[in-house]
Amino acid sequence: MNVFSFCDIDFKKPKNHLPSLETPFGTRSIRDSLAYCNRCGLCLQQCPFYVLTQEETFSPRGRNQALLLLIEGKLNLEKNKKQFLRLATTCSLCGRCTQSCPGKIPTPQHLLELRRLLKVRFLPKTLQLLLQWRADFPTLFYGLTQSGLFLRRWGVVKLLRFSGLANLLGCSWLHQIDRMIPPTKKAIRKKWSILKKEQEEKPSLIYLPSLETELFLPDIAISAWTLATQKHRPVLWTRTPTGLFEYVYGNVRKARQQLKKLITRHAQLQKGTLPLVTDSMDVYNYLKQAANLFENYPGWKRKAVQFSQQVLFVTDLFPQKKINVGAIATPVALDTSALFKTENTPSKNTQKILSTLFLKNFVYCDDRQADLPAFGYGFVSKNNANQLRLLAFRPLVKKEIKTLFVFSGWALMEAFAAGKKHAPQIQAMHIAQLNG
């Protein structure tokens, strides 16, 4: 393994970086991984930011080259910090570049390392703090968000926004979040709170809802739960943090700790043989690559590999018999955006399922057309996000799409907010809802 990596640059905090990356073609140090870029440019037109800006600086190729020059000492970080910040903050970590790359270079992972090096967080400070507490004080966090949602229903959030108090309290992001959360019926909220209490002693499957599903989208959680219980009974619901938030916005060390807890909990239940299903493609991709975080810990790496083999996505639980698509408005399209998107089986299977169910009414959009790149954990600045959403919705409107299926709760929330503005006729649905 090459000794060069980001560890050499940020030597004060070596544990904040990954020593090496798992790629489809083996384990590589970050420098080696960067050096695999042949500058062929096949990633250019796949990157939403490049499509938007048409500038090399905002292309995956440009980002990789800049990082390589940084590691080789040909570019100075302190002197060019502003430019590097721009590079780092204009990547939504969607991973489409990796998909189109002949060498499968994990550019989003490189960018994450750069973000850690620059100590960039992107999130508003109050939101950042709130999410950081989540892992340490889960009950407090849960209580706070539920109270927030309760107050929102009573119009308090609107009041805070219009009175300007939200800005004073450093919570201007409330406006954005408020627009993104779709209203939920009381009956559904109640049903989910009952289901969550049903903790099973001898489960045959573990359901790990994503943070956004659990808090804001109970209808998806119920759909996923129902899907899980059709095949496996009883199902255990878990709220153990995965460490994904820390991995993207915090540091690797903390993410590793969270993941260790999850793996340990999973291993305790029936010797780690239980399948674990999640409703978010972001979480799925992260858990599938769990071994990435344990390169220097062989024992844990082995456990992480074993654990990731048990991870499933909701579509893996779809029944074999024909699904009744009922009142789903056609034509339909599939948004495959996800964090660190890889060419994974669930994504391909879902495309197959949709094309079987909807036949010609399933409009196949290639990656460039169908993705909603600003979604999920890859937060980008508000201005950029608006432009990217518009870019994503234009082809959907052009193809007269009526229903858009998505792979994660974040994507659904973003599609909901953007759809309201750009294309109210398009209904966004999580893929788990396909089963009713």
Partner 1 sequence: MRKLSPAFLKQCAKIIGKENILTDDVSLALYSYDCSLSHTKPEGVLLIRKAEWLAPLVTLLYQYKIPFVPRASATNHAGGCTPLNGGVILNLTHLNHILEINTAQEYAWVEPGVVTAHLTEALASYGFFYAPDPASSTVCTIGGNFAQNASGARCMKYGGTLNHVLEADVILPNGEPLHLSLQEPGADLLGLLAGSEGTLGLITRLKVKILPLAKHIKTFLVPFPSLQESIQAVTDLVAQGILPRCVEALDQSTIQAIENFAHAGYPIAPAVLLFELDGDEEQINKETQLLQDICSRHHALDFKMAEEETEREKLWKARRSAYAAMAQLAPNVLVGDGTVPRSELPNALQKIRQLLDEHHLRACLLFHAGDGNFHPQIVFNGQNKQEVIQVKNVLKQILKTCVDCQGTLSGEHGIGVEKRSLMTYQYDKQTLDLFACIKHATDPDNLANPLKILPVHYEEEAKNASFPAEYQVIHDTLKEEKPFRIVGTNSRLGTKESSLFSTRRFNRILEIDTTNYVATAQTGVLVNDLIQTLSAQHLFCSWAPSAGTLGGAFASGCMPAIYQHILGVEAFLPDGSFIRYGGKFVKNAAGYPLTRLLAGSQGEWALITQLTFRIFASPVPVAKEKPFKSFQWNTWSKALKKELDPKGIFK
Q: What's the distance, Cα to Cα, between the start and end of the chain in Å?
A: 49
Name the region of 405 (left: φ>0; alpha: ψ -120 to 50; beta: rest): beta
Tokens, residue 162:
């219009």
Q: Which listed residue (1, 15, 73, 83) binds partner 1 by CB under 8 A?
A: 83
For 324-391, give the DSSP string.
Answer: --TT--SSEEE----TT----HHHHHHHHHHHHHHGGGB----HHHH--TT-TT----HHHHHHHHHH
Tokens, residue 228:
């899980």
Q: Which listed residue (12, 78, 79, 194) binds partner 1 by CB under 8 A?
A: 79
Q: Which listed residue (1, 15, 54, 352) binds partner 1 by CB under 8 A?
A: 54
Q: Judged by CB, which is closer to partner 1: 45, or 230?
A: 45
Asked if 62 interacts with partner 1 (CB under 8 A), we say: yes
For 97-150, give the DSSP string.
Answer: HHHH-TT---HHHHHHHHHHHHT---S-HHHHHHHHHHHH-HHHHHHHHHHHHH
Q: Do 43 and 101 touch, CB atoms closer than 8 A?
A: yes
Strands 311-313 and 332-334: unpaired
Q: Which listed residue (84, 249, 286, 405) binds partner 1 by CB under 8 A?
A: 84
Asked if 24 interacts with partner 1 (CB under 8 A), we say: yes
| Listed ranges 11-19, 42-50, 210-218, 413-421: which one lies at the site for partner 1 (CB under 8 A) | 42-50
Name the region of 428 (left: φ>0; alpha: ψ -120 to 50; beta: rest): beta
Give the count of beta carbons closer than 10 Å to the beta carbon of residue 123.
Answer: 18
| Listed ranges 34-42, 148-156, 213-221, 404-412: which one lies at the site for partner 1 (CB under 8 A) | 34-42
Q: Pattern of binders to partner 1 over 101-130, x per CB under 8 A?
A: -xxx--------------------------
Asked if 32 interacts with partner 1 (CB under 8 A), we say: yes
| Listed ranges 76-84, 191-199, 238-246, 312-320: which one lies at the site for partner 1 (CB under 8 A) | 76-84
The Cα 256–Cα 234 span in angstroms is 29
Q: Do 424 and 393 touch, CB atoms closer than 8 A?
A: no
Residues with Cβ within 8 Å of residue 270, at least 6 apart in sequence: none
Q: Which listed residue (10, 36, 144, 274) binds partner 1 by CB under 8 A?
A: 36
Q: Judged by CB, which is closer to partner 1: 83, or 167?
A: 83
Q: Which listed residue (56, 178, 295, 316) binds partner 1 by CB under 8 A?
A: 56
Asked if 76 interacts with partner 1 (CB under 8 A), we say: yes
Q: Which listed residue (7, 18, 21, 66) binds partner 1 by CB under 8 A?
A: 66
Judged by CB under 8 A, how many residues of this single chain contact partner 1? 31
Asked if 67 interacts with partner 1 (CB under 8 A), we say: no
Q: Do 430 and 412 touch, CB atoms closer than 8 A?
A: yes
Angle between helices 252-268 and 298-309 (to 10 degrees): 60
Asked if 270 interacts with partner 1 (CB under 8 A), we say: no
E strand or H helix at 208: strand 205-208
E strand or H helix at 175: helix 173-180
Q: Judged by CB, which is closer to partner 1: 66, or 123?
A: 66
Q: Which listed residue (75, 144, 195, 328) binds partner 1 by CB under 8 A?
A: 75
Q: Judged by CB, which is closer to partner 1: 87, or 166?
A: 87
Q: Pattern of binders to partner 1 over 336-375, x per CB under 8 A?
A: ----------------------------------------
Pick out residues in 369-388 that bind partner 1 (CB under 8 A): none
Residues with Cβ within 8 Å of residue 140, at least 6 apart in sequence: 133
Q: Which listed residue (9, 27, 57, 269) binds partner 1 by CB under 8 A?
A: 57
Residue numbers at the binding site for partner 1 (CB under 8 A):
24-25, 32, 35-36, 38-42, 44-45, 54-57, 62, 65-66, 69, 74-76, 79-80, 83-84, 87, 102-104
